[in-house]
């Protein structure tokens, strides 16, 4: 089958198309013929080796973290799916590889595709929708009337997180460029901070939750706008000790991760708020709950551009150069 492999870490030239053996489905797996897959910043970080410390993929490996497709084979122990089912998924972190024609995925990580979406639309959602759910529902326990700031509202995570936060009853603020202000308002943002015109930390205060996909100075400033007891959740780091424990990291790596987040956690404690790092997990159950919201029209995907599968390298470069100003970039196999 055709696939795009990372043959060496470091840059775009380390990724190339190749013919590889078809995957074999285990007892608990479904074998999916992929119709579409989406590009995420995570793919670029993996390609460049920035996550090797805790995601040590051995080259060569197939890249890709989102998919939509059709089940073509089921393992002996599979009870939830049958051949012919249309599905979508974010495979577990140890079984990535969606830039390919086929993939074997554990049945627990798969859900039936929303009936109201195309394959391309469905493929754009799993990673960003699960990230939004795990941040706002699992970690922050967002309640009606709370104030929630979602940074980069026109990005992949932001476009879904705004809609989910509004569904949960929150008052939502977001940061974005002037060009995407109307988009985020249509998605449900109550307050739009155009970052080229205003500094969010001088405008917002007494927030309950911040979802930060940017990290660095943006995260540090986000701590300033939380009220006592508030929570900042970042998907760009720095990783913390809780993540190290969840990962099952060795004592040395736990120590390193604890040290990396020390400054941020100290700043948070000083302001009587909390900081958490989130690396989303695959979950078919959560995708099923999201599917209900999608088919009800509560959440809708935002697509920026669709590339043919043969242009996957170009699609990665397109995202890397920042050309995707709003929504997701998808590659399609058919």
**What is the band of 264 on the pLDDT scale with cuts at 50, 70, 90?**
very high
Q: Mean pLDDT in the chain? A: 95
Residue range 223-241: mean pLDDT, rounded: 93
Residue 183: in which H helix or E strand, if any? helix 181-187
Residue 23: partners with Cβ closer than 8 Å, 6 or more residues away: 31, 97, 102, 103, 104
Domain range summary for the chain, segments of one domain joined by +: 2-124+301-332, 127-277
Q: Which of 55-64, 100-109, 232-241, 256-265 has the lowest mean pLDDT?
A: 256-265
Query: What CATH superfamily is the domain 2-124+301-332?
Result: Medium-chain alcohol dehydrogenases, catalytic domain (3.90.180.10)
Does pLDDT of 253 surpass 90?
no
Residue 112 CB neighbour total at 10 angstroms: 17
Global pTM value? 0.96
Whole-number pLDDT of residue 11:
78
CATH assignment, 127-277: 3.40.50.720
CA 257 to chain centre: 21
Does pLDDT of 248 surpass 80?
no
Which tens digits make up the pLDDT trace of 11-64? 788 899 999 999 999 999 999 999 999 999 999 999 999 998 888 899 999 999
261 vs 31, more confident: 31
**What DSSP state is assigned to residue 82?**
-
Whether the domain at 2-124+301-332 and the domain at 127-277 fall into the same CATH topology: no
């Amino acid at each position: 089958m055709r696939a795009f492999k990372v043959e060496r870490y470091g840059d775009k030239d380390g990724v190339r198309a190749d013919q590889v053996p078809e995957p074999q489905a285990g007892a608990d797996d479904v074998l999916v013929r992929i119709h579409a897959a989406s590009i995420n910043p995570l793919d670029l970080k993996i390609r460049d080796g920035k996550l090797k410390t805790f995601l040590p993929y051995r080259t060569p490996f197939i890249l890709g973290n989102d998919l939509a497709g059709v089940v073509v084979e089921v393992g002996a122990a599979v009870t939830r799916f049958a051949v012919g089912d249309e599905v979508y998924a974010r495979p577990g972190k140890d079984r990535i590889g969606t830039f390919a024609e086929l993939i074997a995925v554990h049945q627990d990580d798969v859900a039936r595709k929303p009936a109201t979406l195309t394959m391309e639309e469905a493929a754009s959602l799993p990673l960003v929708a699960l990230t939004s759910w795990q941040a706002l529902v699992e970690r922050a326990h967002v309640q009606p009337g709370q104030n929630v700031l979602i940074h980069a509202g026109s990005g992949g995570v932001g476009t879904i997180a705004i809609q989910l936060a509004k569904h949960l009853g929150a008052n939502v603020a977001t940061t974005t460029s002037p060009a995407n202000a109307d988009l985020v308002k249509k998605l449900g943002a109550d307050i739009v901070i155009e970052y080229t015109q205003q500094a969010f930390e001088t405008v917002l205060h007494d927030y309950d939750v911040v979802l930060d996909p940017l990290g660095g100075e943006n995260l540090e400033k986000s701590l300033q706008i939380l009220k006592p007891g508030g929570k900042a959740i970042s998907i760009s780091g720095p990783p913390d000790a809780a993540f190290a424990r969840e990962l099952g990291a060795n004592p040395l790596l736990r120590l390193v991760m604890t040290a990396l987040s020390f400054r941020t956690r100290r700043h948070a404690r000083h302001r009587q708020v909390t900081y958490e790092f989130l690396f989303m997990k695959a979950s078919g159950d959560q995708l099923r709950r999201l599917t209900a919201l999608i088919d009800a029209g509560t959440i809708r995907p935002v697509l920026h551009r669709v590339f043919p599968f043969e242009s996957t390298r170009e699609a990665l470069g397109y995202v890397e150069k920042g050309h995707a100003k709003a929504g997701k970039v998808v590659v399609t196999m058919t």
